[in-house]
Structure 1
Amino acid sequence: MPLPALPGLTSLPLPERLDLVAARAAAALSADPEFAGRLAVVEIDPALADTEALVAAYDLDLAASGNCVVISGSRGGEERIAACVVPADTRADVNNLAKRRLDVRKASFHPMERAVAETGMEYGGITPVGLPAGWRIFVDAALTGQDVVVIGSGLRRSKLLIPGAAFADLPGAEIVDGLGRPVTT
């Protein structure tokens, strides 16, 4: 199977370069070599880790870039946390769809300091791969139709390339129609 690739980025076989992903992601990928074998990793300048900078520098399609945000809320004193992965040309529907799926009264973005500490990943690089046990993962269905999607690696110095269809095989992933809402200007 050929490596996922995008013009301008040098794809490296992920199983051979687990040093380019956060430790938790590397552990999860090592535990699932079949899934890991479907992904590639690319090294980037950490200054280009933010989506807008990356797509501008490499002339990438925003719709083929996935942003991962962590949300949380509580019900009956129990905190519930989920990662939402949406196309970069949208914003996660946190206050409606994600809130209902999480079954909380109010959902909001998980505090950055906690998200970084609890995932063991760098801010701006959080990936849905290797998240803490018990966290849910919501993936916008639109991403599954993309040939290749750029997502975080857990580190700002690299990105993962994942075939869109592989999101359905990401352990714990729930594919959600309409999770990303168009950005209004």
Structure 2
Amino acid sequence: MRTPMEAFTDVRPAIDCLDLLTAPVAEALRGWSGGVPVTEVRYVDTDPDKADTAVLVADYGSWLLEQSANCVVVAAKRGGEVTLAACLVLAHTRADVNGVVRRHFGARKASFAPMETATGETGMEFGGITPIGLPADWPLLVDAAVADAPYVLIGSGSRRGKIIVPGKALAELPGATVLEGLAA
């Protein structure tokens, strides 16, 4: 099976590229802990105009679609309370926000958070939001297929660049819960 690293000519440890990452992502890598060494988290420099998954896979290889994951910010509402969280699903699927996410939080309603909220609360750019470096109190819902993947291509916090990380490392991120059927 091919890995996302095969699609790029310059793959470096992300810890060596902190100056290319947003502050929250760089800080998370500096404080990395878990079973997967931080040197296994890789960075590839990509054109910001190719940040969107469809454009990226059209340029670097359609096979990357199966090995890419998207991180979306959701807002779950219950009573007067709003819980912001992130969901990580393979790029060829969609997060089941109105079903699995809503039930997981016991919310009356769950929806994608407005772009301004997602970028303002994470300190990341739209189109590059990543589960690495999310606010410490946020839940992170990871689809089981992502956690089981040998390597996954994800955002880097900005539209420029991508991160390649073992799926099991994503399941170990702060606040992470692995859910079967998160993706539809």
Return the match for 2:70 from 67, 70, 79: 67
What CA RMSD, in Å, does the superposition of the two structures yield over aligned residues?
Answer: 1.5
* Aligned residue number for residue 48 of structure 1: 50
| Gap regions ≥5 residues in structure 1 | none
- Does 1:81 pair with 2:103? no
Q: Which amino acid aligns with 2:170?
A: F
CA–CA separation in structure 1 for the residues paired with 2:25 and 2:179: 22
* Aligned residue number for residue 57 of structure 1: 59
Query: Deviations for 1:139-167, whole angstroms, at most 9, x for unmatched residues?
Result: 11001222210000101111000112222
* Aligned residue number for residue 32 of structure 1: 32
* Aligned residue number for residue 17 of structure 2: 17
Give the Å deviation of 1:63.
2.0
- Does 1:166 pair with 2:165? no
CA–CA separation in structure 2 for the residues paired with 1:20 and 1:162: 17
> What is the SS of the residue equivalent to 1:54?
helix
> What is the SS of the residue equivalent to 2:7?
coil
Work out the percentage of aligned pairs sharing the same amino acid: 48
| Alpha-carbon contact 1:15-1:33 (below 8 Å) kept | no
| Alpha-carbon contact 1:20-1:41 (below 8 Å) kept | no
- Does 1:112 pair with 2:112? no
* Matched residues, number: 178
Query: Deviations for 1:71-101, whole angstroms, at most 9, x for unmatched residues?
Result: 0022232211110000011010000001111
Q: Which ranges of 4 or more aligned residues in structure 1 deviate by more than 6 Å?
A: none
CA–CA separation in structure 2 for the residues paired with 1:143 and 1:8: 19
TM-score by length of 1: 0.91
CA–CA separation in structure 2 for the residues paired with 1:76 and 1:133: 23
| Alpha-carbon contact 1:67-1:87 (below 8 Å) kept | yes
CA–CA separation in structure 1 for the residues paired with 2:45 and 2:115: 24
- Does 1:92 pair with 2:91? no
> What is the SS of the residue equivalent to 2:6?
coil
Return the match for 1:127 from 125, 130, 135: 130
| Alpha-carbon contact 2:89-2:182 (below 8 Å) kept | yes
CA–CA separation in structure 1 for the residues paired with 2:26 and 2:65: 26
Return the match for 1:145 from 144, 148, 152: 148
TM-score by length of 2: 0.91
| Alpha-carbon contact 2:136-2:174 (below 8 Å) kept | no
| Alpha-carbon contact 2:122-2:134 (below 8 Å) kept | yes
| Gap regions ≥5 residues in structure 2 | none
> What is the SS of the residue equivalent to 1:85?
strand
